[in-house]
Every structure is written in structure tokens, then in C-alpha cells.
Structure 1
């Protein structure tokens, strides 16, 4: 009888096949006892579920408790999970549902695609979706959109509940301000912090600026409520907070439909509760401090709710450091009769070792600008007129033709997408092939739109330069004589920004596209 020897080669290979490292993600949106019990149950379930599968290796449970799912940035457990996936510690993720994973469509799709690129896939139990199958993305998009709408509905219900509590005066302040503590849901004065609050108001009423007050507190090593350093912004926040008078103004901010927070400038109703708690500052002191803040704002050209230094000085926001790219800040140097205005790199002010650029005097910048403008007035025939003629000769017809060609391709791309969607709806196209073709067409559409915008920007930039050169040439031709001092209006009309190269040299970047350097006279 023939002897047959059995060789278990495949089994031997299977013994060395690595197990799939599986992790689970859980989340509950509130920190109530019921929700915490639910979280513990989810964690126990997933740990047992993963460990009982012989082909899986338990890679951990990641969770967030008492956290809203609308934005991934607020969820430390989820961010830790994503980081471990990037570090190749996880191969597969299990989670309860799309709404537990994300209630924001953009975040959900972005995270799924990122994980897919890393070779990590997700299984959503409730919806029975495995992202390892390509057709799952289309379904996932729909479901995550539904989850986002659910979140919006929940948010609206929550907002309605909060507004009702605003109206009947039962709303609980989420975080007590510096100077107060929470005791049994009520605000009580923290005596040690209250003395600092009184000091801040007293120094402000004595005429000290917010930065000087902050510097004094930091010098005395007095920590903020969160244990960090005091800033001018923190001081302004305290001086503007009506809670120190014992009153509470509710709904100072609001959240829009995209979950972004805004200051309430009248868009929503506000509610004032008088004598809500014990006061630290009198109403008279508080009102006096508001008047001082308002007056300082007027002196500095600060308009509440606008860009802080938008129109404070002609050079505000327009002087850049050539070394580090930071903006320059206006400062007063010297003392007594020897005072002068200087502009300094903000990065150098904070840390001289990170940027070596030194200050430049404002009067030196004025003089350099006068010299530069006078050169253009004197030599406009040799500088500006040839530049204008060159710009006028620029032919944009080729660019316009290219835009028309791209628009035709965009239209064709749209039609092709509609065709494959029709085939998919009728069942003539496999889901995997549909997704592949759709993604390729979407990438092509994005590329075409980017090309079109780039050409349009080039045309717009050329036309803008032409208009600005014409305006500058007209000014220099009409100037009867050279200017003898700095003119703010001329500067605003023709200069986009100033680049500081050193204490001896600066550059003027003009709106017409010219970049002219000038020496600084000390």
C-alpha cells in the first residue's frame, strides 16, 4: 500500500499570521450618572467582544465623556485614537454608530478618508457599515449628514431650553469669573482674588493702562484663575465684566448653525439679572472704568467689534519684518524732550533671541517715503510711463481663451458625473467602480477650478496693476513740485506695505506692483 505523508504547511504559515489589532471608540454627550453607566457598559461590551475573536488583538478602548460630538477638536479620546492610528498601533476600529463617531459631515468624511489612507478601517455597528468596502463612503456621507441634522436639532432644543432659563432667571453660569467660587450652584466671593479685582479697578481708575496693570501683577507673581500670566486682554475682560457689580448679563455670545461662537451685538436677545450675587465693585466704579476704556479706545482709534488697529495710525499693520515676517508695533522711546516714535518688530519685543531686527524711527520712515515719492515725481517719464505702456501691451486674449476651454471641460466633467450617477441608480454600475470613477472626476473638477481661478487672478492682478500705475502716473504728472513732508493721504493711496530690512534700509511695496528700496537717515 502506498504511503502518504501529510504536511501541514498552510497551518504552519497561519500560525505566524499577525492578528488584526482592533480598538473601540465610545462617547457619551453628558456627564450624568445614567450616561456614565452607559459608557461603562459600552467599554465592557467592546473589550469582551474584541477579546473573544481569535483573529483579533485587543488594542484598547478610546472614549470621551460629557463631550459634544459636533467638533473633533474638543474630543481628546478621539484625537488620541487618531494619533495611535498614525503611529501604526491600530488596524481596525469598532464604534456604535455614525452619530457617536461624529455629528459633523465634514469631520466624519475627513477622518474616514484619513484612516483609509493609513490602512485603518472602521465598522459602524448600528448602520452595519464597514469602510473597507468602497461603496460604504456614499452611504456614510448620507448617514453622517443625517447625524449632523440630528445634532442641529438637539442643539436647537438645547438653545431653546437655555433661553427659557435666561428668561426666568434660573440659568446657572457655566464658569465663575476670577474673584468668585461656586458653592452649591451659587456665586460666592473668593476673598483673596477679590482683592486683586479691586486692585485692577483701582489702578485703571488711577490712569494705568491695561498692559501696565498686567505687567504689575506678573511682576508680583500673582497667577490668573487658570494659573497663567496676566495679559492686557485679560485685564480688559475683567474691567468689562458686569458680574463684579453683582449683576449678570446673559447671552453675551451665541452659537450659529455651524457651531461657531460669535459675540452678540444685537443679533440675539440679552437678559440682565440684577443683584444676582454679592458685588465686589460698585456700579459707580464699574461705569467709570467703562468710560476710561471707551476714551482710551477713541484715542487709539479702536472701534469695538472691528479689527483692533485697523485705522489707528497710517503705518498700523503695514510694516513687516524682513527677517521673521512679523508686524511692527508703534512705541514711544526716550524720555522728556528726547521722546520719539519708533516702530518695533513684535517678535523681537517678546524675544530678542528669536528675531534680531531692531527698531526704526518713524521720522526716518517719513523722510524715506518723501525721498521715494520725489524720485517718482522727478522721473515719472523714465519709470512710470514705460511701465504703463508695457502693461497696456499685455495681451490677455490667450488667458481668456484658456478660461473658456477650462469652462468647457468643467461642463463635460459635470455631465460625466451625472451619467455615472444615472447608471449607478439603475444598477448598471458596480458600487466600487462607481466610487472610483466618481472620485477621479471630482479630483479632475477640483483641478480644473483651481486652474481657472489661477488664470483669473493673473488677469485681475494685471488689470489692478494697470489701474494703479495710471493713478500714480497721473499724480506725479500733476504734482507742481516735489513734496517736502510726509503726507498720510499720499501714503494710503499708493503704498501697500513697508518691509524693514535693517535700521539702515526699508522697502516700499507699492499697490502698482513696484518694490522700491530707500536708505534710512538717522
Structure 2
């Protein structure tokens, strides 16, 4: 019996946008040639363009790993190990994942990749990666000492074309952009004379002057961070000093997110660049003096208290006109931040809502408008029907896997019987290996496929919700329970959209703000089912710890107000089935 050809996935990558885009095609063509020589069948290609091999958070390599779990290929082919990753830990983990799926790794330069090869070549690649970083850093430092910028451009300057030096193009030269430089001078002058950053940004937006990235000016664009040297007012280049290496960056190995940290002062390089000066020393010093006078920190307040929302709905209020946040604009009123800091060119919503009025209307809605008993009944019916539909789809796939597995087991048994009957084992060896591999693959897929779980949502959840929301609201008046109650109530709200209304549109007959409350569906239903809203919440006078949320295919049960909630993964499953018909509560108050 002819053995079917191995299915091959090809991966290609190049590191920077300075390399040829055709490099990807060249790598794939070379890998196709290898597959043709070996008699393999190419079933897919994956690639990442201008992405560093120092991280596995790349769309191409992630797609390849997803398809590997689905059993779409038997071999991964790449030009070299460093195309897959330059980090020893990453390439070792990638090999482990592929080995778990019974997938081999081949490269044009190293051949079949084994554990020993990973240990040797992976270490060399990681050392090379470190050496590249050191040499790049050294080259940037040399460029900075010559008065050239080693990174991106700053507002107020134009990038000059590279100059040829010893046959190579040298970059990093800048020239002052006269129009933008005048804006920088105006910002420094206005700020030094007492104008706030918000008012400066508003004036620039009213004059239709594009910001550094072409958008609107904002307070943070001007103020930035004094310690990190960010923002218009903190860029020492304007004062004729090029400061480099103030920060260093590292990637979180779990998330791939790039984080920045301050470098010690002895590692920071500062070079005078008088030809790039825009601001005179007197004006620069006046701005620094004002910044120093305004710099105050309340060190008596613990960090965990400083990070708590100051008001009940802080951070949840959004302007219905521009989408910006609402903040405190008076002693007891909230208004659109963008309208006040960026001006009418960005937003014209200058309406103000009193804090007491906002909180009273929202709390009343949470207690009396949400979880209408008839709406809950309809939701329970629709939710159960959708879950059953999805379950039927999953069961159909599971039934197919079970049928295939039974067929493979029967075929394997027939071959064993044939050997017992006298058929030479060599004649059926390849077929038995193929069936054994297929059997293991099907067993893994069945183990991952979820089994059927019961679906029960108690219709009395509306009453449970109303009882618990009342407890939370009462908890706001209790010093011991206030913080927990506040956090639990905030978790029920996705956002509060505040939209200006005219006197004719308003129910009170006066112009003001209508509140569109967008509920957080998963949190609302957790509360309605008697479960904690988040990590800790208030139930009566006690704080309960949230139970572990069941993974797909596991059982998670909770008893509250007579509701038997077996097998319901509220957080995960609702994301799947809550379509447009289940959008929770978006209504006007």
C-alpha cells in the first residue's frame, strides 16, 4: 500500500523593513524545492514581514501554531532555525509544541531539528541576538555623539535625506521646520505666562493647527512626563541639547507588551546641538520653574487608595458627542473633558451634570429598570435555545470524531488479524504506523472536545438581582462595606453615555444631559445568579470570594436563592451566545 506523502507547512520571515520584501518569496521557493525533493506535499505557507525574531508574538507564527493544533500538517519547513526564533527558550518551546502534535521541524541549513541541535544552535542564535543588540546600541551612541538623532523625529523638525559616507548612507540629520518651530515657541511662551496646557491645546485646535501626529492637540501632548522627557514642554532638543538613552525597553515574556523603564543617570548621554535650538534658555528656565512650582505629590495617601476611582462612576462616563471622558469641572459637576481641554473644534458639548443627580439616576435605574422579570424569562428561553444549538453543533463534530476513531480501531484490528493469519508484517507495517498515528490524533481531539453539560438558568434570578443590588446600594452608606460595594456596582456598568438634549427632548422640560446606560452583561448575570460580580463583592454584611470559573467542558456549580446553576460558564459562554438580541440594557435615563 502506497504511503501518503507528508503534509508540509512552510514558514518564512525577515526582520526589518530595510530588507527586500522578495526575501519572503525566496525563502518559500527554497523550502518548496526541499519539499519536492523529499516527496512532500505543501499544504500551506506562513510568513512574517519586517518582524523581529526576538519574540513569538508574530501573526504568522501564531497562525502556524493554531493550525498545528488542528492537525493540518505533519512537517514544518523553514530556511533556518533563526527564521522561527532567535531566542533559545522560544525555539525550545516551539519544538516541544510541535513534538506534542507529532510534527517534525526541518530547515534547509540544519536538516531535521532535534533537542541537541536546539541546545547548540539555539544558544548561538541567542548570543547573536544579544550581540546584534549591543552593536546596534553602540552604533546609535556613536551617531548621537555626532549630533544626529538615533530614533524617530520630533515635532518642530524635518528629517534630512541620508548622506553618503564611505559608500554607505548615514541618517539622523534634522533641520528646523520654521512653521512648527513657531508653534513650539508659542506653546512655551503661553505656558510660561500662566496659560494652562488645556487652554493652549484648545487654542491650537481652534486655529486648526495639526498636532505632532496630525490629529488634535491634547493636554498630555503638551505636558507629557517630566521625568521621562516626553511632551513638548520637556523635550530638551528645543533647548539645543540632544538627550539619548533616558529609557530602556523590555518585552513582557507572557504578553509580548513592550515596557519602558528609566535608566540610571550615568547611562544617559547628553550632547549639545546648537543648530537645532528653538527655545532660548530664559524661556526654557521659566517653563521649568513653573513646572517645579506645580509639581506636588501627596505621599501621605497609600498608592492603593490613590489608584481607586475618586467618584462612584469615575472612568465610566463618556461624552455622547465625541466619545471622550467626563471629568469633574466644578465642585459638584461633571462635563466633557475634550470640550474644555481641546475646544469646540473637537467637541461642543459644554453641558454639566451634577454628581448627586447622576448617581441618583443611575442607581435608581440599576435597582428598578434592569432585570425586568418578563425580559429575564425571555432571555432564559433564548439563551438556553442558543446554547442547545451550539451544543448540537459540537456534538455533531464529536460524533464524527468518535465514528472515525471506531473505524481506525477496526482497521487496525484487521491488520493484526492478518499478521496472525500469516501475512508478513513488513507488508502492513507502514499502514499500521499510519493508523496508530491517526488514532492518537483522534484521541487528542476527542479529549479536547467538550462533553454535554446541563443548562439551567433559574427564572427567579430577577428577584435575586434586585435583592443583591439593594444590598450593594445600602452598602454605599456603610464605611466598612463602601469600597467593596462601589467596586461591585461599577462592575455592572460598561459605560455611561451622556448626550445633550434640548428642552423639547427632555422629560423634565429643561435642557440637560440624557444618560444612556450600557450594562456589562456578564457581571449583571453573575449578580442575578447569586455569584460574586468580581474577585470580591458584598452579600449582606459579608464579603464572598469568587469561585473559580469553569473551563469549557468542566462543571461549576453554585447555590443561591434556590438556583441550581450547574455547568454554566457565565463569563466564557455568554461571550459566545449573547448576540444582538441579548445586548444588555442600553437605555436612556
TM-score by length of 1: 0.50
On the 8 A contact 1:28/1:36 being kept in 2, the answer is no
Which of 141, 158, 161 is the matching residue for 2:136? 158
- Residues 1:342 and 1:302: Cα distance change in structure 2 (over 3 Å): farther
TM-superposed CA distance for 1:253, in Å, is 1.3
Residue of structure 1 in register with 2:31 after alignment: 46
Residue of structure 2 in register with 1:201 after alignment: 188
Residues 125-179 of structure 1: per-residue CA shift (max 9 Å, x gap): 444344xxxxx4676467545533432243234334444555x435543211012
Residue of structure 2 in register with 1:245 after alignment: 239
Aligned equivalents of 2:327, 2:93: Cα separation in 1: 43
- Residues 1:44 and 1:277: Cα distance change in structure 2 (over 3 Å): farther
Aligned equivalents of 1:105, 1:313: Cα separation in 2: 42
TM-superposed CA distance for 1:95, in Å, is 1.7
- Residues 1:59 and 1:254: Cα distance change in structure 2 (over 3 Å): same
Residue of structure 2 in register with 1:55 after alignment: 40
Q: 5+ residue gaps in structure 1?
A: 1-9, 131-135, 304-308, 334-339, 351-357, 366-435, 437-485, 504-508, 518-522
Aligned equivalents of 2:152, 2:218: Cα separation in 1: 20
Residue of structure 2 in register with 1:180 after alignment: 157
On the 8 A contact 1:181/1:190 being kept in 2, the answer is yes
TM-superposed CA distance for 1:209, in Å, is 3.1
TM-superposed CA distance for 1:249, in Å, is 1.2
Q: Secondary structure of 2:155's match?
A: coil
Does residue 1:93 correspond to 2:80, yes or no?
no
On the 8 A contact 1:93/1:122 being kept in 2, the answer is yes
On the 8 A contact 1:198/1:280 being kept in 2, the answer is yes
Which of 30, 46, 55 is the matching residue for 1:71? 55
Q: Secondary structure of 1:277's match?
A: helix
Does residue 1:360 correspond to 2:358, yes or no?
no
Q: Which moved more, 1:281-290 or 1:235-244?
A: 281-290
Residue of structure 2 in register with 1:266 after alignment: 264
On the 8 A contact 1:179/1:194 being kept in 2, the answer is yes
RMSD across aligned C-alpha pairs, in angstroms?
Answer: 5.6
TM-superposed CA distance for 1:195, in Å, is 3.4
Q: Secondary structure of 1:178's match?
A: coil
Does residue 1:191 correspond to 2:169, yes or no?
no
Residues 193-214 of structure 1: per-residue CA shift (max 9 Å, x gap): 3333234334433434334444
Residues 43-77 of structure 1: per-residue CA shift (max 9 Å, x gap): 54334444565532363462434x5322234x565
On the 8 A contact 2:6/2:40 being kept in 1, the answer is yes
On the 8 A contact 2:6/2:75 being kept in 1, the answer is no
Which of 103, 108, 129 is the matching residue for 2:86? 103
- Residues 1:292 and 1:121: Cα distance change in structure 2 (over 3 Å): farther
Residue of structure 1 in register with 2:286 after alignment: 288
TM-superposed CA distance for 1:86, in Å, is 8.0
On the 8 A contact 1:21/1:59 being kept in 2, the answer is yes
Aligned equivalents of 2:110, 2:239: Cα separation in 1: 53
- Residues 1:55 and 1:256: Cα distance change in structure 2 (over 3 Å): closer
On the 8 A contact 1:253/1:261 being kept in 2, the answer is no
Which of 322, 328, 349 is the matching residue for 1:331? 328
TM-superposed CA distance for 1:240, in Å, is 0.7
- Residues 1:84 and 1:256: Cα distance change in structure 2 (over 3 Å): closer
Residues 344-383 of structure 1: per-residue CA shift (max 9 Å, x gap): 9999x99xxxxxxx87359x99xxxxxxxxxxxxxxxxxx
Which of 220, 238, 253 is the matching residue for 1:233? 220
Aligned equivalents of 1:128, 1:254: Cα separation in 2: 37
On the 8 A contact 1:250/1:271 being kept in 2, the answer is yes
Aligned length: 350
Aligned equivalents of 2:315, 2:222: Cα separation in 1: 32
TM-superposed CA distance for 1:330, in Å, is 5.6
Matches within 5 A, 1:337-352: 340-342=331-333
Aligned equivalents of 2:55, 2:266: Cα separation in 1: 23
TM-superposed CA distance for 1:272, in Å, is 1.9
Matches within 5 A, 1:476-515: 498-499=486-487
On the 8 A contact 2:332/2:354 being kept in 1, the answer is no
Aligned equivalents of 2:307, 2:46: Cα separation in 1: 55
Aligned equivalents of 1:270, 1:20: Cα separation in 2: 53
Residues 299-335 of structure 1: per-residue CA shift (max 9 Å, x gap): xx389xxxxx976997854555499699x986133xx
Q: Secondary structure of 1:224's match?
A: coil
On the 8 A contact 2:77/2:106 being kept in 1, the answer is yes
Aligned equivalents of 2:106, 2:153: Cα separation in 1: 42
The structure carrying a bigger helix percent of its residues is 1
Residue of structure 1 in register with 2:211 after alignment: 224
